[in-house]
């Protein structure tokens, strides 16, 4: 199974999620999203597949946004505001909070 993780190696939840993917034998593509951020359109696609409203995908310490369009704009311009990690497989997209949630798409 192929999986893509939008990963921050400094984040413990992101590292735990990557370990779950690796232990499951997934062929993992790692995207360090702070170095290679997803576009606004890619974020919208991922969150739509995950069934998550953009404002729900903001980190808790990110500035509050008035609507989902503004949340997408913020995440696209400042990827540090994206909650992590996001994982995509053929079975869907999950936010790895808690990390065990990614098992739903393996």
CA 19 to chain centre: 15
11 among known catalytic residues: yes
pTM recorded for the entire structure = 0.94
Residue 46: partners with Cβ closer than 8 Å, 6 or more residues away: 6, 38, 86, 88, 93
- Catalytic pick from 5, 8, 9, 11? 11
Looking up residue 48, the CATH number of its domain turns out to be: 3.40.30.10
Residues spanned by the domain of 12: 2-105
pLDDT tens for the chain, 106 residues long, are 999 999 999 999 999 999 999 999 999 999 999 999 999 999 999 999 999 999 999 999 999 999 999 999 999 999 999 999 999 999 999 999 999 999 999 9
Is the peptide bond prior to 45 cis by the omega test (within 30 degrees of 0)? no
What does residue 56 show for φ and ψ, rounded to 5 degrees? -75, -15
């Amino acid at each position: 199974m192929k999986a893509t993780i939008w990963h921050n190696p400094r984040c413990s939840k992101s590292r735990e999620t990557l370990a779950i993917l690796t232990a499951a034998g997934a062929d993992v593509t790692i995207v360090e999203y702070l170095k290679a951020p997803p576009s606004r359109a890619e974020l919208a696609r991922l969150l739509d597949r995950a069934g998550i409203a953009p404002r729900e995908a903001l980190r808790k310490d990110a500035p509050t946004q008035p609507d989902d369009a503004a949340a997408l704009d913020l995440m696209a311009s400042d990827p540090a505001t994206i909650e992590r990690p996001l994982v995509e497989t053929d079975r869907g997209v999950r936010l790895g909070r808690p990390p065990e949630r990614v098992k739903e798409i393996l």
